[in-house]
Structure 1
Amino acid sequence: MRSTSPADAVARLAAALDDLAGADLTGAFEPQLIERLESLLVAGNRLAAEVARTVRQCELAGAAGHDGKATMASWLRGHARLSAAAANQLVRNGRTLAQLPAVASAAARGDVSPEAVSVIAPVVAPDNLAAAQAQGIDIEAITAALVDVATHASHEDLRRAVAHYLACLDPDGPEPDPTEQRSLTMAKHADGSLSFRGELDAVGGEKFQAALESILQASRPAGDTRTRAQQSADALVQLCDNALASGNLPILRTQKPHVVVRVDLADLVDPATGPGAAQTSFGTLISAARARWLACDGGISRIVIGPDGEVLDYGRRQRVSPPQLRRAIDYRDRGCGVVERAERRLRRPRPLVRRPPPPALDRRRRDQPRELRAAVRTPLARWSTTASASNETPTADGAPGAPTAPRSCCCPTSPGGPPTPVRAEWTGGPPHRTGT
């Protein structure tokens, strides 16, 4: 066999790949396609083994410094545009093939995939090799057994075989250090949605699964069409809701942790809807619909800022709906349905009105119904600027008509009765900006 240069071998490989890519697979029968696929998988394993061997030789020769890179992993990330995980795995596979000749031979024949080589890689870790030498274990025999499993068994069987070998090296196991095996990274997208990934140790993962499974199994209504992934995500959010509602979490910025949404006065009185009507404490812009959703069970805090940026007033922190009124309306309507009905009501423009509270809703009169007395928020002698709207038809004395649904979240009306607004009021002069 005449020797050829690496460049000539790569050129012939590229020509063979061009021939494969030019083949027409339309109309091929199933046995022909399966036979072609099996041959390509073997060729892919062989090619991956050669790539790993070349990466290892580049690492030994310091070839990454030719392009100004310190390591082959950084070279693969920059020039081959691989992810950090893929680059590290490729470098690790090259080291494994160099230390385990039996695995290298099987990979060169195409019998072992790159994923199998990555699973066998912990066997040649420095601490595992030291433990094997201290106990007089024959690494070549262990490697031959693992290659046989990788060749004739499934990938999960190979993982269990490697885990069993590593466990036998240290039957007692290492001292638990959960901090080294726990990580969580989060990425926030432009629309405010959150993606996260991480890992937990065995004990931490068991606690996490037990907490989610308890909530998941407790909320499985009939006709539930959610997938398992959606149910798990809902359970995680419910777990956070329970922790926030209990009030046992550590103090965050001198306050108990809670969801904070800021709505400027211009956005509050604007009848139009938009994607950036409110902003959360972590800088996420949310739409008006999501702001109304959070306002259903939220509290209101008014912040008045002067023209020079000084805080003129901060107060009126209260629930949007008092507990007594909320329970009464829930009983009346057999469920609140605040968000759905508020969505329909808030589609019409809601101008600001300036009026005193109706004398008929005097909270000092005990003969008035509790629902009416609970709706009054300011003394009769004070005027209040509210976010609720009025009917266009004035009354006989020229005063605005009966109020309709406010811009903020409101509970549904009873059949045939007047609406019961839950108003966000500002007592005194007009504020420059407001936050909730």
Structure 2
Amino acid sequence: MAKDSRHHAHTVCRAVAKSRKKVRSAATSDLWRMSDEDVATTLLEATKLRAQAEALELRLAAEADRRHVGERGGATDTASWWGHQTRQNRPVAKSRMRLAESLDRHSPTAAALVKGAISVDHARVITGCVDRLPDDLEDPTIPARAEQHLLAEAVHRDPKALATLAKHVLTVVAPEIGEARDARTLEREEREARANAWFTMCPDGQGSYRGKFSIPELHGAMLHKMLLAFAAPKHQAATRDEEAPQVERRPSPERMGDAFCELLERMPADKLPQLGGLNATVVVTMDLGSLLGGLASGVLDGGGVISAATARRLACEAGLVPAVLGSKSELLDLGRRSRLFSGA
């Protein structure tokens, strides 16, 4: 049977046991008796308390790793043992162990976390940035100055904003070398982003296509601006029924998806690349009766189908080419949109 940590002599053991008991008692107390000011103040203090508790947890993790606790427990390493014992995902436990080891090398950041002045996410950004600084810096004080600068900024910024600032920390603390290094880094990132760009999409069999992509930041910003032009509240207000209630809202993921569809439908066909002498055009085949008001679906050139209503809507702006088919779908006559013959 495990011993009660409250009976241990070390102050850390007693402090953890007492803190757990007090926090458990506070967490089950009636909060309605607290004033609004007390609730707001205590919420902020509880957030700092969580950072302090995590600081202690990471210090203990680093000490456990130095003592090879995991190996003595039969695990491959301490992070795996820690993850198994506390039911953490293994990648999460590995990441937290790396942070614990990094905090050992960055005492100012560790001290700020112990005080509750920063969060674990802030600490991860700061230590990661300082660890990634070049090893060939002529001024040995640059890493310490970079860490102090990021700690000062962490008080006013969230971790995401701090990470953006951390990318250019050398330009701030050592502009004589930082600007040139940042320029080279940015050029390398742009080349790698363009070289590693990818796009995948496939039909899900239920009337939709699903896909993912990774594109450079510039092209991502261009796409985002295009979609906002369709999805922004001003565009909605200009295109909705005048009798409908005028309610503006921020573009939701669904609205952005609708804007993406609208962008594709409005893409000028004459501006698209030529594929074998023909514009990159989707061909929809359907009989005249369905086009005029029937219910039969239209068939895409790739084998998919669309409803007659959608085909009629697209036909308002598309080119119509009449075709005469025989009894076995043999092509007997095919019209064309232009007076002159096309390349095909």
Give the alignment's TM-score, normalised by structure 1: 0.49
Change (3 A) 1:185 1:45: farther
Of residues 35, 40, 43 in structure 1, which corresponds to 2:41?
Answer: 35
Change (3 A) 1:139 1:250: same
Give the C-alpha shift of residue 251 in structure 1: 5.3
Q: Residue by residue, what CA displacement relative to the aligned partner does 1:287-341 show, whole Å, maximum 9, x if unpaired?
A: xxx6335433679xxxxxxxxxxxxxxxxxxx9x9749xxxxxxxxxxxxxxxxx
Taking the TM superposition and a 5 Å limit, the aligned residue runs for 1:374-389 are none
Q: Is the 8 A contact 2:285 2:298 kept in 1?
A: yes
Paired position in structure 2 for 1:150:
154
Q: Is the 8 A contact 2:200 2:211 kept in 1?
A: yes
Change (3 A) 1:222 1:197: same
Match status 1:248 vs 2:272: yes
Paired position in structure 2 for 1:16:
22
Q: Is the 8 A contact 2:113 2:119 kept in 1?
A: yes
Q: Is the 8 A contact 1:123 1:166 kept in 2?
A: no
Paired position in structure 2 for 1:171:
179
Change (3 A) 1:205 1:187: closer
Paired position in structure 1 for 2:192:
180
Aligned to 2:184, what secondary structure does the other structure show? coil
Taking the TM superposition and a 5 Å limit, the aligned residue runs for 1:193-212 are 194=210, 196=212, 200-201=216-217, 203-209=218-224, 211-212=226-227
Alignment root-mean-square deviation, CA: 5.3
Of residues 92, 113, 118 in structure 2, which corresponds to 1:112?
Answer: 118
Paired position in structure 2 for 1:25:
31
Paired position in structure 2 for 1:404:
none
Give the C-alpha shift of residue 31 in structure 1: 1.7
- Output the amino acid matched with 1:174: R
Give the C-alpha shift of residue 51 in structure 1: 3.3
Paired position in structure 1 for 2:341:
none
- Output the amino acid matched with 1:109: K
Change (3 A) 1:242 1:88: farther
Q: Is the 8 A contact 1:48 1:114 kept in 2?
A: yes
Match status 1:130 vs 2:135: yes
Aligned to 2:118, what secondary structure does the other structure show? coil
Could you tell me how far apart the structure 2 residues matched to 1:88 and 1:278 are? 54
Aligned to 2:31, what secondary structure does the other structure show? coil
- Output the amino acid matched with 1:154: R
Q: Is the 8 A contact 1:216 1:231 kept in 2?
A: yes
Give the C-alpha shift of residue 30 in structure 1: 0.6
- Output the amino acid matched with 2:135: A
Of residues 316, 327, 331 in structure 2, which corresponds to 1:428?
Answer: 327
Could you tell me how far apart the structure 1 residues matched to 2:94 and 2:200 are? 22
Of residues 214, 227, 236 in structure 1, which corresponds to 2:250?
Answer: 227
Give the C-alpha shift of residue 103 in structure 1: 0.6
Taking the TM superposition and a 5 Å limit, the aligned residue runs for 1:27-426 are 27-57=33-63, 61=68, 63=70, 66-67=74-75, 75=83, 79-81=87-89, 90-126=96-132, 128-131=133-136, 133-151=137-155, 153-155=156-158, 158=162, 162-167=166-171, 168=175, 169-172=177-180, 173-175=183-185, 176-177=187-188, 178=190, 180-181=192-193, 192=208, 194=210, 196=212, 200-201=216-217, 203-209=218-224, 211-212=226-227, 222=238, 224=240, 225=248, 227-229=250-252, 232-242=256-266, 245-246=269-270, 248-249=272-273, 291-296=307-312, 323=320
Change (3 A) 1:88 1:180: farther
Q: Which has the higher contact order (CA 8 A, sep 6+)?
A: 1
Aligned to 2:238, what secondary structure does the other structure show? coil
Could you tell me how far apart the structure 1 residues matched to 2:310 and 2:301 are? 13
Give the C-alpha shift of residue 3 in structure 1: 1.1
- Output the amino acid matched with 2:157: S
Change (3 A) 1:157 1:79: closer
Aligned to 1:35, what secondary structure does the other structure show? helix
Change (3 A) 1:180 1:141: same
Give the C-alpha shift of residue 20 in structure 1: 2.5
- Output the amino acid matched with 2:10: S
Aligned to 1:136, what secondary structure does the other structure show? coil
Q: Is the 8 A contact 2:51 2:119 kept in 1?
A: yes
For structure 2, the 5+ residue unaligned runs are 1-7, 241-247, 287-293, 330-344
Give the C-alpha shift of residue 234 in structure 1: 3.9
* Percent identity of equivalent pairs: 14
- Output the amino acid matched with 2:223: F
Aligned pairs, how many?
291
Q: Residue by residue, what CA displacement relative to the aligned partner does 1:383-412 show, whole Å, maximum 9, x if unpaired?
A: xxxxxxxxxxxxxxxxxxxxxxxxxxxxxx
Change (3 A) 1:73 1:174: farther
Give the C-alpha shift of residue 195 in structure 1: 6.9
- Output the amino acid matched with 1:428: S
Q: Residue by residue, what CA displacement relative to the aligned partner does 1:151-195 show, whole Å, maximum 9, x if unpaired?
A: 4x3337745653442334531222523253466687987854647
Could you tell me how far apart the structure 2 residues matched to 1:241 and 1:232 are? 14
For structure 1, the 5+ residue unaligned runs are 264-270, 300-318, 325-373, 379-425, 431-436
Give the alignment's TM-score, normalised by structure 2: 0.59
Could you tell me how far apart the structure 2 residues matched to 1:243 and 1:130 are? 50
Could you tell me how far apart the structure 2 residues matched to 1:111 and 1:59 are? 26
Could you tell me how far apart the structure 2 residues matched to 1:158 and 1:242 are? 39
